[in-house]
Chain A
Amino acid sequence: MTAFFQGLGLPFEGAWLLSTVIGILVICLPVMLAVAMIIYADRKIWAAMALRRGPNVVGPFGLLQSFADGLKVFLQETIIPSAANKTLFLIAPIITFTVALMAWAVVPFQVGVVLANINVGLLYILAISSLGVYGVVLSGWASNSKYPFYSAIRASAQMISYEVSIGFILITVVLWAGSFNLTQIVESQKAYYGFLNGNGFNPLLFPMAIMFLISAMAETARAPFDLTEAESELVAGYQTEYSSMAFALFWLGEYANVILMCALNAILFWGGYLPPVDWAPLYYVPGIIWLFAKILFFFFVFSWVKATVPRYRYDQLMRLGWKIFLPTSLFFVFLVSGFLMLTRYGGAQ
């Protein structure tokens, strides 16, 4: 796109800036729309599993429910507690929301269709997802209230714990793909056994795919790991003191994170924009549709789990993260690197 604007007579830097800004808008606005629709989908799936109807009043089948909610929240008054640290209180939801959108910069939607095709793409995603905790921690501290503070402490411990095992899981994928670039990681998943696309079909990486899915739920603080907003203990956790648009930003950021984690699942383990089967006619379907189908599938899994699995206790959460996922993922790093050493890189010397 830079070349197109250069053709219109702009200097290179201006063209680059303009095309990057357009690229950001082209990614962010659909993500926002997707968040609105996926909140609706989440509520519908959850309702169906509880034998309820879910939102069905606003618009056909209740499709416009999220927009009605957004409008309602937009018109509400922003209440800031008098004892709160005002600046940090207002910055916290902005951080959550911004960070949730930032990571989309490196997500490949198609060969070459990516905002920033950088060779440290996966590290960038790790870096950005590690920033996500600040929104929660700051909101908890700035609210100057007990429940949000507990929630902030829980969130920081939980996210750090699961980032460790996520890091190891990502290393197994990187070892197999031989690159940190997300497009190359997707391309490296072509044609397992000659016909399947996706690291998940590899017996060495399949357990990692499952563990990544579970860690992703913990990392985004979704049920059954939603201890940061456990309503029976902490009212609403770090969101307790928030109202109006500040609350909505948390809500949107959380769901944008969930979609991102679903997209990462699809990209790292299930072939991203590649069709699941390496069969020529399937490549006529645009890659972006395969990616979206996979994202929606994983989102369905997320909702399904939310509707059916009871919440973990905090000590169980920590045990799962440190005593089960960490050793297992470390073991698989050894296993995968050993296997690659023996096969791909010509044996031990």
Chain B
Amino acid sequence: MIHVIAFYLFAILVVSSGALTILSRNPVHSVLWLILAFFNAAGLMILLGAEFIAMLLVIVYVGAVAVLFLFVVMMLDIDFAELRAGFVSYLPFGLLIAAVLLAEIILGIGLWSAGPIELAQRAGPVNPELSNIQAIGGLLYTRYIFLFEAAGIVLLVAMIGAIVLTHRARGGVRGQNVAKQNRRRPQDAVRNINQPVGQGVEL
């Protein structure tokens, strides 16, 4: 009973906040609705028993990605009229994507209802006694170790690419040398002088 109520609560919130993400006019509100959608999706994952995925969803998407989104969107100075002007020209493309996604959903549901999926035929049969983290870790670090490392390399390349694209050497920047700052003592910076009256200070 509680499961059912929780499922419908989370599901309705995911769908409606997803809709409001694209419907709301203020981009900051859009990001906030998106965050709510992520959060409720995590709730759905927990109901499915995938608590590890749910926590990762919250940590990675809500805790990091969406904060960065919000960070960028908050600082934008957006002309709302201009933003809505492209709506008609993008409409065919948007409809195409919607059609593809709808077809995928129908295919997915069709395959699901075609018959029970045998547990043994899954790519990695899981031991039901293991917790999710152990099962995922066991698969990731043994069977899929090369794919896992390849994903790591892809991320590394992306990171280097981002740095290369945005980094430029600027002249005339005064950097901080912390070791030098820590080595500095009062006698290096301050000196007492007995200045004769009527003469300027020599600095």
In the complex, how many residues of chain B place their beta carbon closer than 8 angstroms to a beta carbon of chain A? 25
Q: How far is the CA of A119 from the CA of B74 in the complex (A)?
A: 36
Min CB distance, B29 to chain A, in Å? Answer: 8
Min CB distance, B38 to chain A, in Å? Answer: 11
Which residue in A17, A156, A180 is a CB contact (below 8 Å) of B133?
A180
Q: Is the CB of B67 within 8 A of A126?
A: no
Interface of B, helix, strand, loop or mixed by DSSP? helix
Q: Is the CB of B58 within 8 A of A137?
A: no
The answer to whether residues A141 and B74 also contact, given A17-B2, A120-B133, A130-B64 and a CB cut-off of 8 A, is yes
Min CB distance, B41 to chain A, in Å? Answer: 13
Q: Is the CB of A126 within 8 A of B59?
A: yes
Which residue in B2, B59, B64 is a CB contact (below 8 Å) of A13?
B2
Interface residues in A299-323 by Cβ distance below 8 A to B read 315, 319
The answer to whether residues A119 and B64 also contact, given A13-B1, A127-B58, A180-B133 and a CB cut-off of 8 A, is no
How many chain A residues sit at the interface, stated as a range, is 20 to 34
Interface residues in A184-221 by Cβ distance below 8 A to B read none
Q: B126 interface residue, CB < 8 Å from A?
A: no
Q: A67 interface residue, CB < 8 Å from B?
A: no
**B42-65 Cβ-contact flags toward A at 8 Å (1 or 0):** 000000000110011011001110
Q: How far is the CA of A141 from the CA of B1 in the complex (A)?
A: 40
Q: Which residues of B contact A319 (CB under 8 A)?
A: 176, 178
Q: How far is the CA of A120 from the CA of B56 in the complex (A)?
A: 10
Q: Is the CB of B64 within 8 A of A160?
A: yes
Supply 6 further A-B pairs (C-beta < 8 A) apart from A123-B56, A319-B178: A120-B132, A127-B58, A130-B58, A131-B58, A149-B74, A153-B75
10 interchain pairs, CB-CB under 8 A: A17-B2, A120-B55, A123-B56, A126-B63, A127-B59, A130-B64, A141-B74, A153-B74, A156-B67, A319-B178
